[in-house]
Structure formats: C-alpha cells, structure tokens
Amino acid sequence: MVEAADYQCDFENKWCPGCGNFGIVNAMKDALAALDLPAEKVLLVSGIGQAAKTPHFLKCNFFHGLHGRALAVATGAKIANHDISVLVNMGDGDCYGEGGNHFLAAIRRNIDITLLVHDNRVYGLTKGQASPTSDRGFVTRIQAEGARSDPMNPVALALSQGAGFVARGYCGSTDQLGDLIRQGLEYPGFSLIDILQVCVSFNHVNTYDWYRERAFDINENGHQPGDLQAAMKYAYPEGDRIPTGLIYRKETVPFTQRIRRLNAGPLLGQEYDRQRVQSLIRDA
C-alpha cells in the first residue's frame, strides 16, 4: 500500500510560511496514496513560478522546465510512455499567461494528464504583479491604477473548448481537493483542476478569510457533473459565492488512444524491427 508519507520529501521547502501551496501538496500526496500509485509510476512536470517548484517537495520523478511550457513537455512524455501517470503543476501566470496556447492545445488533444493550476491571481515569484486571473482594478506596485485587463475565466474557457474534466478546488479544503485530484488522475483524458490558492505575501484581497466566506461545494449541493449547462453556470461566481468541486465530466477518447500506433503499447517499449526498417528504407 502506498501512503501519503511515501511521498514525503526532505528537500528544503522554499515557500513562504502559510502559503496556499502547502495545502495543494498535501492534497496531491493524499490523492496519489488513495490511488495506490507508487512514485515510480508518476511523473510530475512543471513550468516556472512558485507553483512550479511543487515537484521538488514531493519524492517523485519530475521535470521542472520552462515558464509556460510544462504542458508541452508533459505531452511529449505521455506520448513516449502512456503507462505513466502525469501530473502538471503550474501557476495562473505560467499556465494561462505565458502558456495560454498550450493550455488550449492540451484541451483539444485531450492528452491524458492532470493539470493543477495553483491560481492565486498574482505573480508570486516575481513579487506581486497582476496575473491573467487578477480582477480588474487589482492594485499592485506596478499596476498602481489597478490591473487594466479583465480577468480570464479558465473554467469557462475549458468548458467552452470541450474539456472533458473540469474542476475547481480550494487550497484550504484539502480533503475536497485531494479527492478532485484523485478523480482527475483516474479520468482517461485531460483533466483541469483550477485551484483557488492564497498568496499570503502578494495578494491581500483574495485571502483565506475571503475564500472561506465564498467557496462552496457544488457536489454536496447535488450538482450533476454530466450537465454542461449547469456546469457553465457554475463556471462563474454566484454573486459573492464561488462554486467549487467537480464542475464537469464527460466520457472522451484520450489522445494516446487516438494514435493507432499506441494501441500496441507504450512507444518506449515497442519493438523496433531492424529488418523492417531496413526494408522500408530500401524501398523508400
């Protein structure tokens, strides 16, 4: 049996005390343990940002790449070996800003990976600039008049683009979040979990108290994740209240199953028949 403690990593943590990322890491460990997934079956891929440091704080295989590009790396890795579970950690700036096009492409491919977006509505690593999900008017040192652009809504965007698994979690509700991550990992296809995350250093608007008052669990309220119209409604806040939980789920064909060649097993393990290659080259 795999236990959450198996993922315990003694590498020095580099986040601020009270950071929302701690809750996310704990939820990840719970989910991996719940699925009995040992570290050698899991690959964590991340971009750049505070969220992207996450893989360093779990004991696992990981590839910590470039800002915005984690989904592309994860896609290549999954195509190469689709037997492994791939989890991607990105921040809101990383995923929705720098990596926006890869986000759209990952939805279209329906690549079977689980994307955790640590969405704290601010740039933490670079010390507090507005992010793609910051509210208009969000004041920072560089946006003294407040952010001038409207925030994007990643959940609504993912739903509108046909994503098959869309959830919104909250870093303060570790049990719910762990369960969402578990379901995302089990889901055959691309799964997005946008995580409302607190930044204790640079976002003094969207705080623990702020979220505690607003976040509510739609699945407890009886929401059926197969209902796209209801899901679209929950993509947006209801007044002051922010819906969390599994917003939408539908059956889809994951990317690696769309590649006929991969029905024969992971690309990495397939036999490369020398004779056949030689004869193909001879006849080419």
Positions touching another protein (CB under 8 A) are 11, 14, 39-43, 45, 48, 53, 55-56, 59-66, 68-69, 72-81, 83-84, 101-102, 104-105, 259-262, 264, 267-268, 270-274, 276-278, 280-282, 284
Closest CA to 165 of 129, 190, 130: 190
* Residue 68 Cβ vs another protein, minimum distance, rounded to whole Å: 8
- What backbone torsions phi and psi does residue 46 show, to the nearest 5 degrees? -145, 165
- In angstroms, what CA-CA distances link 212 with 77, 89, 109? 37, 23, 35
Nearer to another protein, 6 or 186 (CB): 6
Nearer to another protein, 79 or 157 (CB): 79
* Residue 271 Cβ vs another protein, minimum distance, rounded to whole Å: 7
Calpha distance 248→245 (Å, rounded): 9
* Residue 145 Cβ vs another protein, minimum distance, rounded to whole Å: 32
- In angstroms, what CA-CA distances link 10 with 7, 59, 104, 172? 10, 8, 35, 23
* Residue 139 Cβ vs another protein, minimum distance, rounded to whole Å: 31
Nearer to another protein, 222 or 269 (CB): 269
* Residue 53 Cβ vs another protein, minimum distance, rounded to whole Å: 7
Is residue 90 classed as helix, strand or coil in its secondary structure?
strand
- In angstroms, what CA-CA distances link 272 with 164, 275, 276, 277? 34, 9, 8, 8
* Residue 60 Cβ vs another protein, minimum distance, rounded to whole Å: 6
Calpha distance 193→233 (Å, rounded): 17
* Residue 245 Cβ vs another protein, minimum distance, rounded to whole Å: 30
Calpha distance 113→102 (Å, rounded): 13
Closest CA to 170 of 222, 132, 125, 117: 117
Nearer to another protein, 144 or 284 (CB): 284
Nearer to another protein, 118 or 249 (CB): 118
Nearer to another protein, 136 or 276 (CB): 276
Cα-to-chain-centroid distance, residue 270: 29
Nearer to another protein, 127 or 136 (CB): 127
Is residue 196 classed as helix, strand or coil in its secondary structure?
strand
